[in-house]
Amino acid sequence: MRVLAWPAFENKTGNPYNRLLYEAVEDEGMEVAEFSLQRALWGSYDLWHLHWPDDFLSYRSPVTAAAYVGILLLLLVLARQKGTQIVWTIHDLGPHESHHPWLESIFWRFFPRLVDGFITLSDVGREAALRQYPSLRRVPGVVIPHGHYRPAYPEPVERDAARKEFDLDPDAPVAVYVGRIRPYKSVEPLVHAFRSVPDEDARLLVTGNPSGPAIERQIRRAASGEDRITLDLRFIPDDQIPVVLGAADLVVLPYEDILHSGSALLALSFHRPVLVPNRGAMSELQAHVGDEWVHTYEGRLTTDDLRDALSWARTADRPDEVPLDDLGWNRLAAQTVDLYERVRSGTAGNPA
């Protein structure tokens, strides 16, 4: 079976999810090609597997966004006419920042009807997708959870050595944010909440690349004058991820909007407890790995939430390793190939 994937391997330095998945899919005997315009137009593929197809909607320019959306929809129609079937992995249910509501309405009116099979990362995600896009009920769909990131990064760095890199006291309570910084991830409110944490020994380390200069200025302004906050606002290369996470007692992901979280899986892959909002599939993740590893809060993150979670992270009884063996990529790839085969065989879709 020949699979055109977008993306397949090209985003490995930003998010190795796709590389890990498709390397394992190839081990299952599939042939996976990276999407390109030429391949979409002239290549011959059994399936086209898309992730984040609405990414173009995040472009600020309405002309650019509309052009890319139009080209994508046209390519999908042409692919189906050639016999290529479309599989969609539903990471999110729409863009986190809405710039062009009219264009989103057009895109979501047509795109789900072009899909021949879909994958969600959780039961919550599946139920939400079927509610939001009823046309998916006619095609095969399956829940295949997000895999762990252990094969993608160097070995964890010992805590004292990691903290030395950031001039952090070995015994201090340390909360860490890691990942790209975008408005919906609420990093500035995290900084404000931390400033009121009463423990003078507590520290907050914020790492990641801001999506624009305005949000970087906001975060720097929010952290100004607070010696307990360390900012490393840049793209964190793969070899530095073990250092960042090695320094953490707790990884805080205070997202305003969340369905699934690769950053949570990244932290758990390094055996670090996480604090996340009780939204989307986070309670499902908590049930999967145990509430000793995933702590949730309601509403917007408060200073009390942060203080209590730091205490929980340092005092809760937990094993040395997060139980993630059932999220290995070979297992997930086998489930993905099974869905491919169902799509190719025309197996009936989901019950109403």
- What are the pLDDT digits (tens) for 257-293? 899 999 999 999 999 999 999 999 999 999 999 999 9
The upper half-sphere exposure of residue 62, i.e. CA atoms within 13 Å in the direction of its Cβ, equals 6
Same structural domain for residues 220 and 262?
yes
177-194 per-position pLDDT tens digit? 999 999 999 999 999 999
Residues 216 and 92 both lie in one domain: no
Considering the domain architecture, whether residues 177 and 280 belong to the same structural domain is answered as yes
Q: Determine the residue type at 10.
A: E
As a whole-number percent, the residues of the chain with pLDDT over 90 amount to 90
The total number of structural domains that make up the chain: 2
One domain for residues 89 and 156: no
Q: What is the pLDDT of residues 41-66, one digit of tens each?
A: 999 999 999 999 998 888 889 999 99
Q: What pLDDT, in 10s, does the model give residues 105-121?
A: 999 999 999 999 999 99
The CATH number of residue 233's host domain is: 3.40.50.2000
350 assigned to some structural domain: no
Q: Do residues 90 and 217 both lie within one domain?
A: no
Smallest CA-to-CA distance from 222 within 251, 195, 258 is with 195
**Mean pLDDT across the stretch 132-144?**
97
Q: Is residue 14 scored above 80 in pLDDT?
A: no
> Do 228 and 334 share a domain, yes or no?
no
Residues 116 and 15 in one domain: yes
Residues 170 and 264 in one domain: yes
Are 143 and 126 within 8 A, CB to CB? Answer: yes
Give pLDDT, residue 352. Answer: 40
pLDDT for 347 equals 60
11: in domain: yes
Residue 256 structural domain: 150-324
Helix axes 262-269, 282-289, angle to 10 degrees: 20
Q: Do residues 168 and 270 both lie within one domain?
A: yes
Query: Is 136 in the same domain as 167?
Result: no
Task: Give a yes or no: residue 100 inside a domain.
Answer: yes
HEC string of 300-323 equals CCCHHHHHHHHHHHHHCCCCCCCC
Residue 131 pLDDT > 80:
yes
pLDDT digits (tens, 9 = 90+) for 288-344: 999 999 999 999 999 999 999 999 999 999 999 999 999 999 999 999 999 999 999
Q: Peptide bond before 7: cis, by omega within 30 degrees of 0?
A: yes
| 15: confidence class by pLDDT, cuts 50, 70, 90 | confident
Same domain, 168 and 212: yes
- Same-domain status, 207 and 275: yes
DSSP letter for each residue of 181-215: B-GGG-HHHHHHHHHT---TT-EEEEES-BSSHHH
Place of tokens 């391949």: 39
Given this model, what pLDDT does residue 348 score?
A: 52
DSSP string, 6-71: ESSSTTTTT-THHHHHHHHHHHTT-EEEE--HHHHHH---SEEEEE-GGGGGG-S-HHHHHHHHHH
Whether 350 has a pLDDT exceeding 60, the answer reads no
**Does the residue 351 lie in any domain?**
no
